Amino acid sequence: MRPTGNLHLGSYFGALKNFVRLQEQAKCYFFVADYHLLTTHPNPANLHQNVKTILAQYIACGLDPDKATIYIQSQVPQVVELYMFLNMNAYLGELERVSSFKDKVRQNPQNVNAGLLTYPTLMAADILLHKADAVPVGKDQEQHLEMTRTFASRFNRMYSVDYFTEPVAYNFGNELVKVPGLDGSGKMSKSVGEAATLYLVDSPEVIRKKIMKAKTDAGPQEKNSPKTPEIENLFSLLKLVSSEDIVRQFEDLYADCTIRYGDLKKQLAQDMETFIAPIRERIKQVEADDDYLSKVARQGCEKAMESASKTIREVREIIGFRPF
Ligand code: ADP
C-alpha cells in the first residue's frame, strides 16, 4: 500500500484482512509502496513519517514479521531494475488505456508524469520480483493484475521461457471486496473525501459523527423496494462489522418499510467502534516503538533482497546480460 497516511476501512477489508489470513498458509511478501507515491511528489519531510505509519499499522492489524516478509519498497533496489526491464516491453497504447491512469489524468491534468503512466509496470515489478502467483487485493486492482499477467506472459514469450507465473487476484475463493464510502458513491478511498472515509485511527466521536452524517432517504415506501446506493452502502458496512442477527433485523425492518435510519446508523456506529477500538489501541502501541519498527524494516529488507536478487540474477541471464 502507498504511504498516504492512515489506513481506512477499505484497505483493511479489501487487502489487509486477507494478508493476515494468507500469511498463515503461504509464503508472503508485503511492502510499503513508497516508490509508487512519488507520482504525487510527496513532501520529503512527510514521506518518512508516512512510511512509518503504514508499517506500524500493518503490524497493528496483524501482519507478523516472523511469518511474512514485510519490507519497504525503496529499500529493495532490485524492484527498480525489474521495473526498467518490464517498461521496455510495455506499450504506450496499453498503458494509456488503464482506467486508473485515465481517472488520474482527468483528476490532475497538470501532473500526467511518466511514473503515473508506468504505474502498472512498477506494480508488476513488485509482484513478479518474488514470482508471486496470487495477490490479495480489492476489486479496484483487478485491471492492474491483468496487466501484470500480460507483462509476465509477454516476457516468457519474448525469451521463449516459462519463467514468470501469471499471478491472479486472490480472495480465498470469494468475490473481490469493494468497501463503499459513506457518501453513497463508489469505493471508500481518500479521494472521496474525509467525511465519507472511516480510518482505523478514528476516535469513537469521529466514527459516530461520520456515520450519523451519512446521507439517507425518506425510507422505503413499498414493501421490498430496491435500496438507493446510500442505503445499500450503509447495509454493506453493517455486514462488515455487525453480527448476522443485527443485519437480518435491519433487513427485515427495511423490507416491511418500518426501518428508522437513525437507529440503523446508531447501531452501525456502535458496532464500528467495537470493531475499530482494539486496532486503534494496537496502532498507538506499535507506532510508539521506533526500535521495533526499525528492526522489522531491517529484517524485512534482508529477506526481500534474497528473493529479489535471485530473480534479477535469473532475469538478467535470460535477457542475455551474462558475465564476461
Ligand atoms: P494504493 O493506492 O497503494 O493501492 P489503497 O489504499 O488505494 O492504496 O489500496 C490498498 C489496497 O486496499 C489495495 O489492494 C486495494 O485494492 C484495497 N482497497 C483500497 N480501498 C478499497 C475499498 N474501498 N474496497 C476494497 N478494497 C480496497
Distance separating alpha carbons of residues 115 and 128, to the nearest angstrom: 18
Task: Give the three cell numbers for residue 187.
Answer: 469505493
Supply φ then ψ for residue 271, to 5 degrees: -70, -30
* C-alpha 251 to ligand 1 mean position (Å): 28
Distance separating alpha carbons of residues 40 and 227, to the nearest angstrom: 37
Pocket test for ligand 1, best of 11, 17, 50 (most atoms within 8 A of CB): 11
Q: Tell whether ligand 1 has an atom less than 6 A from the beta carbon of residue 11.
A: yes
Supply the residues annotated as catalytic.
104, 187, 190
Using CA positions, which residue lies closest to atom 26 of ligand 1? 14
Cβ neighbourhood burial of 238 (10 Å; 0-12, 13-18, 19+): buried
Sequential pLDDT tens for the chain (324 residues): 999 999 999 999 999 999 999 999 999 999 999 999 999 999 998 999 999 999 999 999 999 999 999 999 999 999 999 999 999 999 999 999 999 999 999 999 999 999 999 999 999 999 999 999 999 988 889 999 999 999 999 999 999 999 999 999 988 988 888 999 998 877 898 887 889 999 999 999 999 999 999 999 988 888 888 999 999 999 999 999 999 999 999 999 999 999 999 999 999 999 999 999 999 999 999 999 999 999 999 999 999 999 999 999 999 999 999 888
* C-alpha 257 to ligand 1 mean position (Å): 35
Q: What is the pTM of this model?
A: 0.92
Q: Tell whether ligand 1 has an atom less than 6 A from the beta carbon of residue 120.
A: no
* C-alpha 173 to ligand 1 mean position (Å): 19
Q: E strand or H helix at 306, and its extent? A: helix 290-319
Using CA positions, which residue lies closest to atom 22 of ligand 1? 10
